[in-house]
A and B are shown apart, each in its own frame.
Chain A
């Protein structure tokens, strides 16, 4: 008995040693950020300069007063808070609040950046956040598409290709018929491509990454070709005029100042995201359907021995995932730009996969990651019109840089389904 106790104590000591180096690294990062805010942001700013945050997005009727504050003094306070957090982190550590404090410091840093960038002028904070929500839509939907596939054991890196193709098809069909039929056509297109991916990987056991890459290359090629041949030609403009889903203001909720316009004054894609996230969460984790789907992604042989049809389940999940990707694809044309242009998805399908990993294969996590990447997306668009002395091309890289940082820092810890990427062979040991 005494042995057990001494061993537990020993274990704890060793655990501590390990976390200690972590603790100090984090603390030093906080201190560096504090110094950065102080040296770059505060020192370059005259004490009399003010920052203005507009709290009402352009064209909204839910009005809220602008938020005006002196830049230098606010920023020095924030730098001070970061410094304290860093010092405390090094000396004591925040224990179970570590992640919360990390998010807080990161938030402070971004806020400081914004205040500094808009000092002497103004930035529309509400607009920034509103666009964040919009930009999160394709990322979150794409992440959930990838999730359906990977949770069932099929790796799908062809989200990008599926989105691109469905964006194209939906544009043409919607131009010829109406928005809803166009959207449906996009969804079916995604499902069809996913079915091909399924046949290749599930039936013919082609390597999942290769099949996905082939689909991406094919999608890029065919949509670019058809687009430049027809959609971009004046003679065929009637094929590239699908229109857009209108904005729907939710009664009452959209009138709440600040929050209303950010969350409740969008077209149906944003609401679809808000509904699909909890829906898929419940489906995956609380229903028979979800249990079976996850089981074939974790241990297909075990599922098979319990009478679950591994092949059918995988096809079903991959095709549903493809339809979800297809739906995400139609957002680009029917929900955002109102027309198709070559490569208009711009790698969002891959960032969606990053969001899936970052969100640890969970719909809610995926939306969180989607919002984070969406924020940088929105910020890069906004910041290029501010007085920031950074070339706008670099600002355009922000969403992708954020993706790399997040992937490098966090994904090591996310838990992929055990059988993801492995085709199932019944008669093998």
Chain B
């Protein structure tokens, strides 16, 4: 029998890049097919072709053995294909119902929207797959995990049989990822088929039925979780051996670089997001900040980097008071920032790579002399950084918006690491990166630490925090619940703290935890 979906010889060229090079791929009914590949391998491009957002230069698509022509997303929807995009496609000021029925509206006589009927269907889908979504909520008020479930309902609403999920787990907390996997299982049990893109090998091993690896726009090979292990997958992806665990030397902290006392910060809705926090980071050590997303980490980092003035408290960087200073002053002190939202705070998407690489040094020699920019210098330094940090781009003159998500992240890292810095504030520095790049960035972070840089690492990835940090602070509802030494921090203890339970209550919580397990 013909497979549910078959891609044959798909090729796509962008100016200067061969993004997909004769890719063959099949998807059987009822399977989860994981697509692995390093940043810029061409996964998103391939999926965008399948969904009709891009058109292929060569190659054919078959559904149930019949050739289909997909020029527009409408064609894909008709062929039963749905996609959850790497960057969500939701309209914040619309309700869940409006977002879901857009393009496939239920109308009453006279052309009026039938929101009630659509909401009823959404509730029905939500119940069937246990998605727990309120159709009347506004999308802007929903946490990321719920937004993703809205995206999933959007596909199911159109009765798609083939679901494409492009890095659905990148923005989720570990708990939300577990939820997602459960949902994916239910979907597959009900006869749907899923193409699942991720960079996290653990996830692939956990939920995929089949794995295909892409590198440089070509299919490198297919395997199954039974035959492969993470080590082998990593090697297939990157084309060389990857060190998945980094070796950490004993830290030797020196003078205090960052000192924070009784800090309070308000978020944009005028709610207290950071509540009376005190800590310090010393030269040559990594302080990890763990916590479920949305517990004040974002606001803390914004306050430290001068993007959001705190309401109260003290921030000292290298002995200088900075709460009321401009970001420029703070960066000039020798502090670097890798922001959480790379597209919003880290890059000017329409600017070329070279310009993005000098965003905080352009006013210094050699990039400018007097009032003129030195374009040769900027291009030379850009080329050197692209080389050194392995940024996959056709040239330094390409707009950053045309780079793959992971490569956009590398541009930021390259910019911040190429200056002499004494303090590094890194927020989710490896979000969306492939294993090779993660290894690279982790090594770089450790090298900076060795050089005597103080590092504040904010991450929701427990593995990353445990691997890199010397001390770990856990944030919960705007407060730091505890600061642990890395040796004492097990995943379990951190997990409890992240849920807001202090280990002193350990006995109680242990009991509670077991009770919960029995109940579920």
A-B contact count (CB 8 A): 94
* Contact A307–B272 (Cβ < 8 Å): no
How far does the alpha carbon of A43 sit from the alpha carbon of B83 in the complex, in Å?
A: 73
Q: Are B111 and A287 in contact (CB under 8 A)?
A: yes
- Chain B contact surface mostly: loop
In the assembled complex, which residues on chain A have CB atoms less than 8 Å from the CB atom of B196? none
User: Does chain A have a CB within 8 A of B186?
Assistant: no
B53–A291 CB distance below 8 A:
no
Q: Are B91 and A302 in contact (CB under 8 A)?
A: yes
Residues in B neighbouring A286, C-beta threshold 8 A = 112-113
A286 to B115, CA, bound (A): 9
Chain B contributes a number of interface residues (CB within 8 A of A) equal to 42
- Are A299 and B477 in contact (CB-based, < 8 A)? no
The answer on a CB contact under 8 Å between A14 and B311 is: yes
Chain A hits for B154, CB < 8 A = 306
Interface assignment of A426: CB less than 8 Å from any CB of chain B: yes
A14 to B77 alpha-carbon distance, docked (Å): 49
Select the stretch in B101-109, B298-306, B466-474 that faces chain A.
Answer: B101-109
A398 within 8 A of B: no
How many chain A residues touch B (CB < 8 A): the figure is 33
Main secondary structure on A side of the interface with B: helix
- Residue-wise interface mask of B (479-494) relative to A, using a CB-CB cutoff of 8 A (1 in contact, 0 not): 1000000000000000
Contact pick for B102, options A15, A303, A428, A429, CB 8 Å? A303
Of chain A, the residue at the smallest CB distance from B154 is: A306
Q: Tell me the A399-429 residues at the B interface (CB within 8 Å).
A: 415, 418, 426-429
Inter-subunit contact B270/A308 (CB<8 Å): no
* A306, B102: Cβ atoms closer than 8 Å: yes
**Nearest CB in chain A to that of B78: its residue:** A307
Check if B98 is an interface residue, CB within 8 A of chain A. yes
Question: Among B83, B103, B401, which residue has the most Cβ atoms of chain A within 10 A?
Answer: B103
* B371 CB → nearest A CB, Å: 25
Chain A residue at minimal CB-CB distance from B76: A307
Nearest-neighbour CB distance to chain A for B61, whole angstroms, equals 17
Cα A14 to Cα B264 with chains together (Å): 11
Closest-CB distance, B41 to chain A (whole angstroms): 15
Q: Are A304 and B73 in contact, with the CB atoms below 8 A?
A: yes
Interface residue B275 (Cβ < 8 Å from any Cβ of A) = yes
Asked whether B477 lies within 8 Å of A3 as measured between CB atoms, the reply is yes
Q: Which residues in B have their C-beta under 8 angstroms from that of A429?
A: 87, 401-403
Decide if A289 is an interface residue (CB 8 Å cutoff): yes
Pairwise interchain contact B89-A307, C-beta atoms closer than 8 A: no
Interface hit among A4-12, A123-131, A236-244, A257-265: A4-12
A301 on the B face (CB < 8 A)? yes
Q: In the assembly, what is the distance between CA of A18 and CA of B311, in Å? A: 11
CB distance B500 to A3 under 8 Å? yes
B91 pairs with A4, CB closer than 8 A: no
Interface residues of B, Cβ cutoff 8 Å to A? 51, 53-54, 72-74, 77, 83, 85, 87, 89-94, 98-99, 101-105, 107, 111-113, 154, 266, 270-272, 275, 311, 401-403, 476-479, 500
List 17 A-B pairs, Cβ < 8 Å. A3-B476, A7-B272, A7-B477, A14-B270, A286-B113, A291-B113, A302-B91, A302-B99, A305-B73, A305-B85, A305-B89, A306-B102, A307-B103, A308-B103, A426-B53, A427-B53, A429-B87
The 3 closest A-B pairs by CB, nearest first: A306-B103, A307-B74, A302-B89
